Amino acid sequence: MKTKLPRLSDIRSSTKTLLNYSLPRVPAGFALAGLLTLGPLLAGYVGGLREAGFFVVGQSVFRIMESAIVGFGLVALPKISQLLAKDKAEFLKSKIEDILIMIFQLGLFVTIHTFIWSKEIVLVWLGSEYINAVPIMKIIILSLGPYLGYVVLRSIVDAVEVRAINTFNLSLSLVIAAVISIIFIYAGFGVIGLAIGTTVGFAALGIMTSSYLMRRYQISFENFMLQSVLLLNIL
C-alpha cells in the first residue's frame, strides 16, 4: 500500500500557518524573563548585592507556587484546541468561567495568607539573617494572585486566539514595571520602589490576561462572589 505524500503547496501552507502562529510568541519568553529579572538587576545598582538577594528571595515564592500548577498548561492547550475543533464553544465558555472563578478565589486566599505569614515563612525557611527581606517580600506577594492567574490562563489564551496576546500583555507589563520602578527610584524609595514597580507589572499582566478571556466569552465579574470570598478570608 502506497503512502500518500503531502503536496509541496500543502507543506508551504502548513509551514506558513505554523510560523504565523509561533514566531510572534517567541518574544513572550524574553519579556517574562525581563519582568522577573528587572528588580534583582536594578536592585544591585540601587542598593547592593544584599538587597538584590532579598529581592530574589521575595520572587522565589512565585516559583514555588508556579511549580504546583505549571502542569495545567501542558494539559490545557491540547484539550482546549480539541474542544474548539469540535465546536463546543458553550461548554468551553462554562469551563473557562469555572477556571477564572477558581483562580480568583484561590489566588486571593493564597495572596492574603502568604502576605500575613510572610515573616514566619522567611524565619522558618531561611532563618533570621534574611528577616530584612520581609518588607520586599510582602510587597511582591501582593501580585502573587495575578501572576498565578497568568500562569494558568496563558495556555488557554494561546489555544483560543491566533494573535500573540500573551506577548503583547507581557511586553506592556514589562514597560509598566520599568517605568514605575524608575519613577520610584528617583523618588528615593530604593529597592522598595523596585518591588512596587514589579508588583504593578505582574498585577497588570494578570488583569490583562483575565480581562481578555472575560471579554471574549462575556463572563461577568458578578459571578466571582467577591463579598463572600472576602468574608471567608477575613474569618
Compute the distance between CA of residue 71 and CA of residue 51 in angstroms, rounded to an integer.
32
Confidence at 211, pLDDT banded by 50, 70, 90? very high
Give CA torsion, residues 117, 119, 40, 150, to 10 deg: 0
CB atoms within 10 A of CB 8: 8
> Which three cell numbers, joined as nine digits, stand for 216?
471574549
- Residue % of the chain over a pLDDT of 70: 90
Write out pLDDT tens, residues 62-100.
877 777 777 766 776 677 767 776 777 788 888 888 888
Confidence at 32, pLDDT banded by 50, 70, 90? very high
The answer to whether the CB of 57 falls within 8 A of the CB of 137 is yes
Closest CA to 54 of 177, 195, 178: 195
Mean pLDDT, to the nearest integer, of 123-141? 87
Compute the distance between CA of residue 42 and CA of residue 193 in angstroms, rounded to an integer.
11
Residue 162 has pLDDT above 70, yes or no: yes
Residue 23 has pLDDT above 80, yes or no: yes
Q: Write down the pLDDT at residue 226.
A: 67
Confidence at 2, pLDDT banded by 50, 70, 90? low
Compute the distance between CA of residue 4 and CA of residue 6 in angstroms, rounded to an integer.
7
Which range, of 33-37, 179-183, 231-235, averages the lowest pLDDT?
Answer: 231-235
Residue 18 has pLDDT above 70, yes or no: yes
> Which three cell numbers, joined as nine digits, stand for 218?
462575556
Q: Write down the pLDDT at residue 1.
A: 53
* Crossing angle for the helix pair 191-216 and 165-186, to the nearest 10 degrees: 150
The answer to whether the CB of 197 falls within 8 A of the CB of 184 is yes
Prediction pTM value: 0.87
Cα angle: 102, vertex 105, 109; to 5 degrees: 130
Give CA torsion, residues 202, 96, 72, 55, to 10 deg: 10
Mean pLDDT, to the nearest integer, of 36-60? 83
> Which three cell numbers, joined as nine digits, stand for 184?
520610584
Residue 35 has pLDDT above 90, yes or no: yes
Mean pLDDT, to the nearest integer, of 159-174? 94
Mean pLDDT, to the nearest integer, of 166-191? 95
Compute the distance between CA of residue 116 and CA of residue 100 in angstroms, rounded to an integer.
24
